[in-house]
Amino acid sequence: MRNLDLKQATITLLLMCVLTLVVMACSQESSDPGSVPGKAPETARPAKPVQPSILLITLDTTRADRLGIETDQADTPNLETLAGRGVYFNQAYSVTPTTLPSHASMLTGLYPADHHVRENGRVIDKQIELLQALLQGRGYTTAAFVSGFPLAGQFGLSRGFDHYDDAFVGDAAERPATATTDLALDWLLGKASPLFMWVHYFDPHEPYEPPEPFLSRYPRDPYLGEIAYMDQQLGRLVMAFEEHNQGRPWKIIVVGDHGEGLGDHGETLHGNLLYQGTMRVPLIVAGSGIEAGNSERAVSVRQVFDTVLDWSGESRAGGLFGDESGPVLAEALKPYMQYGWQPQFMAVLDGIKVISSGDTEIYDVRNDPGESNNLDSQIEPDAVLWDAIEAYSIRALAVQTEKQQALSQEALDKLASLGYVGVSGGSKIRDDAPNPRDMVHLFHDMDIGAGLFIRQDYAAAIPVFTRILEADPYNFMATLRLAVAYSVTDNEDQAQKLFDRARAIDSSSIDLRHYQAMHYLKNKQWDLAQPLFESVLTESPDRIPALAGLAQVYTRQGELKKALSQLEKIVKIKESPGLEWARMGQLRMTLHDTKGAIRAFEAARKMLEDQFTFNLELGILYMADRRFNEAATSLDRVSSQHPAYAMALFKRAQTSVLLSEGDRNNRVRKAWLQADETTRPLIENERLFRDIPFR
Ligand SMILES: [Zn+2]
């Protein structure tokens, strides 16, 4: 591919747009049903630009050097064809090696330090403008089809899409490219232009399990098989999109969210380091008016935002073809946020890359793409790189406490199944903070341990976290999780010792207070648990396990109304809170609030269906409310295995007499025959049964 002078390309592009616009405007004029044939309009309307339909395709976990464009080993004919027709950016960089923050940057134009989504599982702030919402305002119909749980609509990127398809099959956390492509093509049928469509493929993310024939084609490198499979589906999508837009302008942008370590510099997956394997991503732009070419300019995935807005007619200098220059930046803060290691930042300009992570690495990435030769002592990069890193790191580290999100256990499980197990850690640089690149031997244990922890396999997690702490004694996350594992497996001494140690490392951590409170709760130390839960909830009011823990503490302390108010908060934010409604029913029953208790139990029964075990309580409440038919139905549902089944029979017999049912004598007799110590005297003394021969 030849190199292209981008300034020249921009001018050519502008000229072509002008020409296209004139042609389009004319053709629209002549076909306008309101215009009179043969007669020119009296006042010339300003030419209305024809907005192109735009397709954004994001490739998860895709390394630029694993596409056919860059290596003979890969089989990606559709991406190669697209790159051949458009512009291939061979120095395109992710903003951070994590799915949600990277996509958030594409759709906001902001770096993670500025949109504040630093990890998966966070929710983007509602105040932040999203590309798709702006396009809606400019007349676009918008739709998104995502394939991995980190981009599920609940994390906020669905805002501004007319249609957001994140419905993964069953409990799955991802879906294959074929399914996503089918849905996108179905949606596309008959849709009016201009369109903005975002399609996200997740296949290259581990585990690498491509379908046949791609698995057989790459028996030793299934990662390449996933990429080949994704390319096949991308080909279908691109072809359908072009056909849909025949005779109209269109643009396509294909971009990776981050790459994959694949062993480079000791990193297998992505998320911990800033080397090229995870940071340099594929980026192709093609479509109406775009001349084929190759660009070596360092660009960032966040420039997708300005590029697309510019196409829609809102002039932007920060796009991929814009005039804005300056270093491209990125961060990798997971090791800092979770383990207290050095924060890592990077800047790239003109082929020179600087990594700052406690010390400095400098690479000539065009000539040394494997980053094997650190030029730190040999060259002095442009001061603008240092200034940019310094300014960015100040911004990035200033955001101390991000709003904690109330993730359900289900959401945590799904993220964990994809290898994302981040919970908030210390967020401060330890005095002995190691450089993450010197800790790669721990990445594997960290991932394994975190996975076991999320799956609540605490006994198996203990040796893993113990190993990590032998190598990294002040690792906050490992210390805290080991404390929890000991607490749950009833090793009280070790648990307390490790909680103390975690406090010595970072006494301000909200997670420390949370887990310590859970520990006290388990040990029935209500008065110790209470202030800790209260402090957690002051900082993070939506934390469901803390609300539930505090409700339990208040109940045990006899503060039933306070307990109720915690449960009321949970039912407002939790998905299907059946158990919490049942708990509220019990509390209201104890407080003699019959109607309130009925409402709560009814809500619980609706959500829990067959799992609802409070039919006896509900039956008794209906009787108290003189709703005898409903009482009878409810009591009939009490299982014969219920420990208070005798009571259910007694109550059912009372109802039967009150309703004058035909079989009331039998019911009373049955209650008598199966009576226990509690119900026998009740039956003997029951006035309703006075005239019934049950003995
Ligand atoms: Zn990703």
Distance 400 CA to ligand 1 centre (A): 24
In this prediction, residues 461-465 reach a mean pLDDT of 96
Whether the per-residue pLDDT at 501 is higher than 80: the answer is yes
Q: 452: CA distance to ligand 1 center in Å?
A: 22
173 or 245: which carries more pLDDT confidence? Answer: 245
Ligand 1 centroid to Cα of residue 200, in Å, is 10
Nearest to 632 by CA among 602, 657, 603, 666: 657
Which stretch of DSSP H or E encloses residue 165?
Answer: strand 163-165
**40-93, pLDDT tens digit by residue?**
445 556 667 799 999 999 999 999 999 999 999 999 999 999 999 999 999 999
Separation of CA 201 and ligand 1 centre (Å): 9
Q: Do 570 and 547 meet the contact criterion of CB atoms below 8 Å apart?
A: yes
Which H helix or E strand runs over 299? strand 299-300
Cβ–Cβ under 8 Å, residues 619 and 631 = yes
pLDDT per position as a tens digit, 316-359: 999 999 988 899 999 999 999 888 899 999 999 999 999 999 89
Q: Under 8 Å CB-to-CB from 362, ≥6 apart: which residues?
A: 352, 353, 354, 355, 374, 375, 376, 378, 379, 381
Confidence (pLDDT) at 32: 39
Q: What is the pLDDT of residue 543?
A: 85
Instruction: Give the amino acid at 318.
Output: G
Note the Cα 475 to chain centre separation in Å.
25
User: What pLDDT score does 401 carry?
Assistant: 44
Q: Residue 473 is encoded by which pair of tokens?
A: 């004694």
Q: In this predicted structure, what is the pLDDT of residue 5?
A: 46
For range 168-189, the mean pLDDT: 89
Q: How confident is the model at residue 121 (pLDDT cuts 50, 70, 90)?
A: confident
What spacing in Å lies between the alpha carbon of 60 and ligand 1's midpoint? 4
Q: Which DSSP category does 191 fall into?
A: P
Query: Contacts from 487-491 at CB under 8 Å and sequence distance 24+?
Result: 487/515, 487/518, 487/519, 487/522, 488/456, 488/458, 488/522, 489/458, 489/459, 489/462
Mean pLDDT of 197-217: 95
The answer to whether residue 156 scores a pLDDT higher than 90 is: yes
Interval between CA 3 and ligand 1 midpoint (Å): 29
Q: How many CA atoms lie within 13 A of 133 on its CB side?
A: 12
pLDDT number for residue 428: 62
- What pLDDT shows up at residue 196? 98
**Confidence label for 171 from pLDDT (cuts 50, 70 and 90):** low
Give the span between the Cα atoms of 675 and 691, in whole angstroms. 19
Rounded distance between C-alpha atoms, residue 340 and residue 425, angstroms: 8
* Of 104, 69, 63, residue with least CA distance to 83: 69
- Tens of pLDDT, residue by residue over 241-277, are 999 999 999 999 999 999 999 999 999 999 999 999 9
Question: How many A from CA of 120 to the centre of ligand 1?
Answer: 9
What is the 3-state composition of the chain as percent helix, strand, coil, each rounded to the nearest 5? 50, 10, 40
524: how many CB neighbours lie within 10 A of its CB?
10
Judged by DSSP in three states, 89 sits in strand
Q: Bigger pLDDT: 662 or 415?
A: 662
Alpha-carbon dihedral 493, 499, 500, 505, rounded to 10 degrees: 150
Q: Is the pLDDT of residue 216 over 80?
A: yes
* 278 Cα to the center of ligand 1, angstroms: 10
Distance 177 CA to ligand 1 centre (A): 14
**Cβ neighbours of 432 (radius 10 Å):** 10
d(CA 462, ligand 1 centre) in Å: 29
Specify the DSSP element, H or E, that contains 295. strand 293-295
CA geometry: angle 161, 210, 88, nearest 5 deg: 60
The amino acid at residue 282 is P
The answer, yes or no, to whether residue 37 has pLDDT greater than 60, is: no
CB atoms within 10 A of CB 401: 11
d(CA 72, CA 153): 37
Distance CA 484, CA 458 (A): 8
44-79 as b/e: b if 16+ CB within 10 A: eeeeeebbbbbbbbbbbbbbbbbbbbbeeebbbebb
In the predicted model, what is the mean pLDDT of the chain?
A: 89
> Which pLDDT band, with edges at 50, 70 and 90, does 397 fall under?
confident
Residue 505 is predicted with a pLDDT of 87
Q: What is the mean pLDDT of residues 200-224?
A: 95
Pairing verdict, β 299-300 and 328-332? unpaired
pLDDT at 578: 95
Q: pTM of the predicted model, to two decimals?
A: 0.78
d(CA 300, CA 95): 7
Q: Which pLDDT belongs to residue 629?
A: 97
Residue 7 has pLDDT above 60, yes or no: no
| C-alpha of residue 75 to centroid of ligand 1, in Å | 21
At 534 the pLDDT is 92
Task: Provide DSSP, 449-503.
Answer: HHHHHHTT-HHHHHHHHHHHHHH-TT-HHHHHHHHHHHHHTT-HHHHHHHHHHHH
Write out pLDDT tens, residues 535-583.
989 888 888 889 999 999 999 999 999 999 999 999 998 878 999 999 9
Question: Could you tell me if 468 and 449 are in contact, meaning their C-beta atoms sit under 8 angstroms apart?
Answer: yes
Q: What confidence score (pLDDT) does residue 11 get? A: 43
> Residue 541's pLDDT is what?
85
CB 113 within 8 A of CB 138: no
Contacts of 313 (CB under 8 A, 6+ apart): 49, 51, 138
Pairwise CA distance, residues 203 & 59, whole Å: 8
| SS3 of residue 125 by DSSP | coil
Q: What is the mean pLDDT of residues 104-113?
A: 97
Decide: helix, strand or coil at residue 283.
Answer: strand
Residue 191 has pLDDT above 80, yes or no: yes
What are the beta bridge partners of residue 280?
93
17: number of Cβ within 10 Å: 18
Q: What pLDDT does residue 24 have?
A: 41
Ligand 1 centroid–CA 157 distance in Å is 14
C-alpha to C-alpha distance for 305 and 320, rounded to whole angstroms: 9
Residue located via tokens 């093509």: 185
Give me ligand 1 centre to Cα 449, in Å.
Answer: 21
Write out pLDDT tens, residues 342-354. 999 999 999 999 9
| d(C-alpha 305, C-alpha 314), whole Å | 11
CA angle 160, 164, 167 (to 5 degrees): 155
Question: How much of the chain exceeds pLDDT 70, in percent?
Answer: 88
pLDDT above 90: residue 22:
no
427 C-alpha vs ligand 1 centroid, how far in Å?
23
Ligand 1: centre distance to CA 257 (Å): 5
Q: At 428, phi and psi to the nearest 5?
A: -150, 150
User: Could you tell me the sign of the dihedral formed by the alpha carbons of 445, 450, 453, 455, in that order?
Assistant: negative
Distance 366 CA to ligand 1 centre (A): 24
How far apart are the CA of 463 and the centre of ligand 1, in A?
30
Residue pair 254/283 in contact (Cβ under 8 Å)? The answer is: yes
Chain centre distance of CA 596: 36
